[in-house]
Amino acid sequence: MRIHLKTLGCRLNEAELEIWSRDFENRGHQITSRLADADLVVVNTCAVTGAAVRKSRKLLNRAQRQNPRSKLVVSGCYATLNPSENAQTLGVDLVVDNRDKEHLVDIATRELDLHAMPEQATAPGESGLLGRGRQRAFIKVQDGCRYQCTFCIVTVARGAERSRPIDQVVAEINDRVKQGFHEAVLTGVHLGGYGSDSGSDLYQLIRAVLERTAIPRLRLGAVEPWDLPENFWDLFENPRLMPHLHLPIQSGADSVLKRMARRCKNAEFQRLAEQACRRVPDINLTTDIIVGFPGETDQEWQQTLAFVEQIGFGHLHIFAYSPRPGTRAALLPDPVSRDVIRQRGEALHQLGERLKQQTLQRFIGRSFPVLVESAPTLPEAGWSGYTPNFLRVNIPSPSGSDLENRLVEVRLQQLADSGDTLIATLEQEVPF
């Protein structure tokens, strides 16, 4: 069968999609990037915000409309958090709860009677992911979260913390290296909580991956700022661990953080950022900010703007607060109006763009290795990829050149007109 996989939301959803892709191929099915060609469509939904729920519904409707003959399987947080919306009410063939999604391919095979001839199965170690333009592998290392941030519905949808054994993670990354991947990203709902259920921790996991795999570049997904293990900064002495950290802070006002039940105050984050910059050359710190949390005053909002500027984040993920049924924040008084949220969001967006441009300009004139990820979409466009510290780079190159999935040395020359990318010149290819 031809399988089309689609996801919304976090990198963990991306990692799960890659696992399903491999499992379907091992059973003899073919992964297709075209929804219209698929015999089976699998959608991994998201529910982190109200907008994510609407996008999930829209994605399901689009799949049903564009390919009504295909079978449709849905999983993820949206499907899990709405038990009253079963397969019949969603208009799909099968709903797989988050608790069972590791066995989604087995469940779909059994419940939907999927068949494939054995000779169609891919050979061990093969993968269709690179054929779909993926050079970065997302590796799921844990699921669930033991914390109860008042705004977060994901902890309800994902359940208790569960960590994958280090040996399994190492084996999966080694498989990805054999398949031609040059970069892996460790992901989880609560990445910093890795090993809480198994007597291990994130430090031991990262060290094992660096020592027992040959992956050229290793990245981390989002890590809560209070979760960094002892000796964490020592790991960056290995240049294969990329100098970029996404540390969600959510607000720059301690009073808002208290209402959110967050476990890091701004002064603690400031010390952490200073330590990161001192220990890890060229590190790029990025973060999440929630705009319009219940009760957020003008003074608290100004504290957030000042804090963001003080840290100088290289990129902001900005979320407009939306109440999620089942969370404590949904019961808090003094909601912020949508107009105020829009105004504050626009102000934060402008600040974030200015800080990003300052970050990019700071590295102009420097040389960096870049993993080229995508080919030019237009003749005049260049190849694109990311530096180790996750700065997006565009590389104009002679026509006919093929740089895809190659690691090349470039010199950063100038800021692109868009303001969010650096233009670079090619210097040489970097041997792996």
Looking at the predicted structure, is the pLDDT value of residue 131 above 60?
no
CB 76 within 8 A of CB 56: yes
- Which range (130-144, 256-270, 319-333) has the least confidence? 130-144
CB 115 within 8 A of CB 162: no
Q: What is the C-alpha separation between 343 and 286, in angstroms, rounded?
A: 22
Looking at the predicted structure, is the pLDDT value of residue 307 above 80?
yes
Distances 20 to 13, 26, 170, 183 between C-alpha atoms, Å = 11, 10, 18, 19
Q: What is the C-alpha separation between 42 and 323, in angstroms, rounded?
A: 28
Q: Which of 195, 188, 173, 185 is nearest to 244 (CA)?
A: 185
Query: pLDDT tier at 414 (50, 70, 90 boundaries)?
Result: very high
Q: What is the C-alpha separation between 394 and 375, in angstroms, rounded?
A: 10
Looking at the predicted structure, is the pLDDT value of residue 400 above 80?
no
Are 275-362 and 367-429 in the same CATH fold? Answer: no
Sign of CA dihedral 64, 68, 70, 72: positive
Q: Taking the domain 275-362, which CATH number applies?
A: 3.30.750.200
At 57 the pLDDT is 86
Q: What is the C-alpha separation between 231 and 196, in angstroms, rounded?
A: 17
Question: What radius of gyration, in Å, describes the C-alpha atoms of the chain?
Answer: 22
Phi, psi of 20 (to 5 degrees): -65, -40
246 sits in the region (left: phi over 0; alpha: psi -120 to 50; else beta) called beta
pLDDT > 70 in the chain, percent: 91
- pLDDT digit string (tens) for 248-303? 999 999 999 999 999 999 999 999 999 999 999 999 999 999 999 999 999 999 99
Query: pLDDT tier at 48 (50, 70, 90 boundaries)?
Result: confident
Paired with 163 in beta bridges are: 142
Paired with 246 in beta bridges are: 286
Query: How many CA atoms, within 13 angstroms, populate the side-chain half-sphere of residue 256?
Result: 27
At 124 the pLDDT is 40
User: What tokens were used for 128?
Assistant: 């269709």
Residues 333-345 have a mean pLDDT of 96
Looking at the predicted structure, is the pLDDT value of residue 159 above 90?
no
Sign of CA dihedral 124, 130, 134, 136: positive
pTM: 0.82
Q: What is the C-alpha separation between 113 and 363, in angstroms, rounded?
A: 55
At 135 the pLDDT is 77
pLDDT averaged over the chain?
89
Residues 1-7 have a mean pLDDT of 91
Residue ranges covered by each domain of the chain: 2-120, 135-242, 275-362, 367-429
The CATH T-level fold of domain 2-120 is Rossmann fold (3.40.50)
How many CB atoms lie under 10 A from the CB of residue 117? 7
The 3-state secondary structure of 355-417 reads HHHHHHHHCCCCEEEEEEEECCCCCCCCEEEECCCCCEEEECCCCCCCCCCCEEEEEEEEECC
Q: Taking the domain 135-242, which CATH number applies?
A: 3.30.750.210
- pLDDT digit string (tens) for 86-96? 566 667 889 89
Three-state SS for 70? coil
Three-state SS for 3? strand
- pLDDT digit string (tens) for 375-387? 776 656 788 999 9
CB 197 within 8 A of CB 161: yes
Q: Tell me the residue type at 318.
A: I
The CATH T-level fold of domain 367-429 is OB fold (Dihydrolipoamide Acetyltransferase, E2P) (2.40.50)
Task: Tell me whether strands 392-395 and 40-45 are parallel, antiparallel or unpaired.
Answer: unpaired
Paired with 315 in beta bridges are: 286
What end-to-end distance do the CA atoms of the chain give, in Å?
Answer: 36
- pLDDT digit string (tens) for 163-200? 999 999 999 999 999 989 999 999 999 999 999 999 99
Phi, psi of 412 (to 5 degrees): -80, 120
Looking at the predicted structure, is the pLDDT value of residue 122 above 60?
no
At 121 the pLDDT is 40
The 3-state secondary structure of 186-228 reads EEECCHHHCCCCCCCCHHHHHHHHHHHCCCCEEEECCCCCCCC
